Amino acid sequence: MNKFISIIFALGVLSGCTNTGAPDAAENSIAQVMATQQQAWNDGDLKAFMQGYWPSEELRFASGDSYRFGWQTTLDNYIKGYPDKATMGQLKFELIDIDLVSDEVAIVFGRWHLTRASDQPHGLFTLVFEQKDGRWLITKDHTSSAK
């Protein structure tokens, strides 16, 4: 019995030693993308905010009862909805869960909150991040607003 416990312990130690820390590195990279986006938004720079998204016509963004495809279409919609810094307000993301589905795909769930002079819209988001050319980028975004 003691031999069995020793083997199990040794395997546990060895598996811990071979851990590359990849999940932590991926989660940190994804959180950094979100932090960079938050700062770009708060600086009033939608083009910099969009750098966290996959620059592809396959990018999907859904909100409310509509969805659209394409990086440029998504940027154009942001510009239309947030034409100036006052409308953009100050954005705060709260990351609730980063679920690494594989080495190249993660699902991120969280809250967003805008602070503006006249209101404080907020809601939830679910993002699919994928590794694209060595970078974690949002390929699918589903954002909801609270009433």
Kindly report, residue by residue over 93-120, the tens digit of the pLDDT.
Answer: 999 999 999 999 999 999 999 999 999 9
As given in the structure block, the two tokens for residue 54 are 């996959």
What is the rounded CA–CA span in Å between residue 126 and residue 79?
21
Look at residue 13 and tell me whether its pLDDT is greater than 80: no
**pLDDT score at 76:** 98
Sheet containing 66-69, strands listed edge to edge, beginning at the edge strand earlier in sequence: 66-69, 60-63, 135-145, 122-132, 105-115, 90-100
Summarize the confidence of residues 141-146 as an average pLDDT: 97
Mean pLDDT of the region 11-17? 36
* Strands 135-145 vs 105-115: parallel, antiparallel or unpaired: unpaired
Q: Could you tell me the pTM of the whole model?
A: 0.84
Residue 82: count of CB within 10 angstroms of its CB: 17
For the chain, the domains span 22-145
* DSSP annotation string for 4-62: HHHHHHHHHHHHHHT---HHHHHHHHHHHHHHHHHHHHHTT-HHHHGGGB--STT-EEE
Tokens for 69? Answer: 């495809």
Q: Which CATH architecture has domain 22-145?
A: Roll (3.10)
* pLDDT, tens digit (0-9, with 9 covering 90-100), for 48-73: 999 999 999 999 999 999 999 999 99
